[in-house]
Amino acid sequence: MTPETVYALFAALFGLVVGSFLNVCICRLPEGQSVVSPPSRCPHCSYRIRWYDNIPLFSYLLLRGRCRGCNARISLQYPLVELLNGILTLLLFLRFGPTLTFAALFLFCSALVVITFIDLEHQIIPDEISLPGIVIGLILSFFLPGQSWLNSLLGILLGGGSLLLVAYLYQLLTGKEGMGGGDIKLLAMMGAFLGWKAIPFIIFASSLVGSLVGITIMLLQKKDSKLAIPFGPYLAFGAVLYIFYGRALIHWYLNLGGFDRG
């Protein structure tokens, strides 16, 4: 194998291992528990998970998705999070190589994985991730090529401010809260890492996909528009889409609309 292939495989394995830790965050943060201690254990029988039962993906397959201690079924979420983070890490490495940009976006995307699964289950976005993420994204902007502190700061203001305005107007018109503060802080974090130019794309992509999925779910379940759908996962999807294809899609759209004629 070439050195490039070895590095890519190492990046994927690293993503899988970190994905195992992300599962701990997903399970414990909503409960206000420490992600450091106690060590991983079965939520059903409190069996302490040994290292050989905690190997990403492989242990789940070897145990056939069941706890060694009580034979209770292990949630499919665990291998899914590990696999998703491994794939994202590999794609980021193939795109950016062993650079500071890769490290920053790896941290960012790992945070989005945690936020996505917590929001899907609990419909909350923990401040323990979004608020430090805003600060870290702004600090990293001083060191990342192609990024600047001003771009990051404007991203924070535009990201948080745009959703804050939407939430205020919706509540003013309907008298109901239509968007939680977690989404506002999440988009501000995205602006800190990706800059202000990413914000319009993320809002458009997440709104489009969220609307399509929401309408489909309501039609299938025959529920009305009051069905609560977490928006965080769609924002996360829009941010990841921007990282890999955002500029190409924007360029394609401008050409399609005849805006790029010099």
pLDDT digit string (tens) for 181-203?
899 999 999 999 999 999 999 99
DSSP-derived 3-state class of residue 228:
coil
Q: What is the mean pLDDT of residues 7-19?
A: 96
48 HSE (CA, 13 A, CB side) = 5
Q: What is the DSSP letter of 227?
A: -
Q: Which two tokens stand for residue 80?
A: 């899914």
Residue 98's CB: how many other CB atoms inside 10 A?
11
State how far the alpha carbon of 255 is from the alpha carbons of 191, 248, 260, in Å. 26, 11, 5
**Would you state the structure tokens that stand for residue 163, as one six-digit string?**
């959703």
**Higher-confidence position of 151 and 163:** 151
Q: Token digits for 51?
A: 């290292």
CB neighbour burial string for 133-154, b if at least 16 within 10 angstroms, e if fewer: bbebbbebbeebeebeeebbbb
**Residue 158 tokens, joined:** 């535009």
Average pLDDT of the segment spanning 172-189: 81
Confidence of residue 47 (pLDDT cuts 50, 70, 90): confident
34 backbone dihedrals φ, ψ, rounded to 5°: -70, 140
Average pLDDT over the chain, rounded to whole?
89
Per the CB < 8 A criterion, the answer to whether 205 and 233 are in contact is no
